[in-house]
Amino acid sequence: MLIQGCTILDVGGMGVLFTAATVPGDRLVVSGCTIRGCGQAGVSAYKTRAASGWGGYGLVENCLISECNRLAGTPGALGNAACGLHLNDGRRTETDPAHPFILWTFKGNRITGCAAALSPKNEDSGGIAVDFNAHGASIIENVIVGNWGKGGYALNANSTQWIRNVFVGNDSGLVVSSEGGAESCLNTVIRENIFLYNWNGADRGPGYDAEIAHMNVEGLTIARNRYLAARTWIRQIGDGSRAVVEKDNADLSEAPVADPISVDGVVMRGNAVIGRLAMVSPEVGGQMAPS
């Protein structure tokens, strides 16, 4: 299935929802679309599993996703909330190893201004969610900017890769965690990303106040990232995380870089930040620290 070059505006639920069982060779693709103002997720994949053995694969690429999750906290959402891009295979007890969740890639998308005004501290609000047992997802070269809640998160999901993304002005950058028990968050890789001032106030997210936060994870690698922290670079919540490796990360406030970086109106040269975040919607955008 290919959804390409579409404009999807102001729907009450998901902009695009996949629930299909797939076989090898099947492709679920959303490419080059503009999706704005959805009541829930811009694109959601829920229990997209293999019909048997290995299934197909999913891809969301080169899309603009903005101002989604607007109905969270209202009767129309039926108690649900969702990020701009959202994967979920259900709790471990609901999964079947004979029908695994298919592999998904999110690449080259821009996710901005996703917020729930009536549920501002919702844990499911933000840019990109790799939720319950959506194992093996690859999140590559996305720009995730000015969302309430988390720029991205992996909850109870294994083997997620976050590579060369840009997180700017979200309430927190990236949160990886598990509930423990039957659930796990194993072997997450966070590599070569840029994190800039991910905090947009006490009333626009659940309050992790960090560029990266982790809880109850095992086998987490945080390497070769660059950051300017609004509050905290890495925050460990509790003492349940194991085998966390941090290496070759660069604090841009202390280690000037030779080449300037320009991301959505934030221009960095050396260790100086010039300019502010360009908001798609001032009502729901994040807030940058002063230049």
Q: Dump pLDDT digits (tens) for 179-196.
A: 998 999 999 999 999 999
User: What single letter denotes the amino acid at residue 282?
Assistant: P
Question: Degrees (nearest 5) of the Cα angle 140, 147, 137?
Answer: 30
CA–CA distance, 149 with 199 (Å, rounded to integer)? 9
Q: Is the pLDDT of residue 271 over 50?
A: no
Residue 31, phi then psi, degrees to nearest 5: -140, 130
Examine the pLDDT at 27 and tell me if it is beyond 80: yes
Judge contact between 120 and 200, C-beta under 8 A.
no
The answer on pLDDT for 106 being more than 50 is yes
**Above 50 in pLDDT, residue 223?**
yes
> pLDDT by residue (tens digit) across 125-154?
899 999 999 999 999 999 999 999 999 999
pLDDT band at 42 (very low <50, low <70, confident <90, very high): very high
pLDDT computed for residue 76 by the predictor: 81
Joined together, the tokens standing for residue 223 give 């390497």
The pLDDT score that the predictor gives to residue 289 is 32
Q: Where are the domains of the chain?
A: 2-256
Residue percentage of the chain with pLDDT more than 90 = 71
What are the angstrom distances between the C-alpha of 187 and each of 1, 24, 205?
30, 25, 26
- Banded pLDDT at 20 (limits 50, 70, 90): confident
Please report, as a single letter, which amino acid is at residue 150. Answer: K
Q: What is the mean pLDDT of residues 74-86?
A: 89
pLDDT of residue 281 exceeding 50, the answer is no
CA distance 221 to 188: 6
- The pLDDT of residue 237 is 95
State residue 256's pLDDT score: 54
Length of the chain measured in residues: 291
Average of per-residue pLDDT values in the chain: 87
Q: Whole-angstrom Cα distance, residue 120 to residue 5?
A: 31
List CB contacts of 288: < 8 A, sequence separation 6 or more.
Answer: 168, 169, 197, 266, 276, 277
Contact 116, 125 (CB under 8 A): yes
pLDDT at residue number 120 = 87
Q: At CA 285, angle to CA 282 and CA 291, rounded to 5? A: 90
Among candidate residues 62, 20, 27, 68, the one with its CA nearest the CA of residue 45: 20
What is the average per-residue pLDDT within 59-65? 98
Of the candidates 171, 215, 211, the one whose C-alpha atom is nearest the C-alpha of residue 195 is: 211
**pLDDT: which is higher, 200 or 38:** 38
For residue 286, pLDDT beyond 90: no
pLDDT tens-digit profile of 241-262?
A: 999 999 999 998 875 555 555 5
- Give the model's pLDDT for residue 259: 54
Q: What is the pTM (predicted TM-score) of this model?
A: 0.88
Per-residue pLDDT averaged across 212-224, rounded?
97
Q: Which two tokens stand for residue 169?
A: 């002005």
Q: In this predicted structure, what is the pLDDT of residue 263?
A: 55
| Nearest to 184, CA basis, from 92, 75, 250 | 92
Residues near 247 by Cβ (< 8 Å), separated by ≥ 6? 221, 222, 223, 224
pLDDT at 252: 85
Comparison of pLDDT for 42 and 122, the residue scoring more: 42
CA pair distance 194, 145, nearest whole angstrom: 11
Contacts of 69 (CB under 8 A, 6+ apart): 38, 39, 40, 41, 81, 82, 83, 84, 114, 115, 116, 122, 124, 125
pLDDT at 53: 79
Give the separation between CA 220 and CA 218, rounded to whole angstroms: 6
What is the per-residue pLDDT for 283? Answer: 33
- Over 50: is that where the pLDDT of 291 sits? no
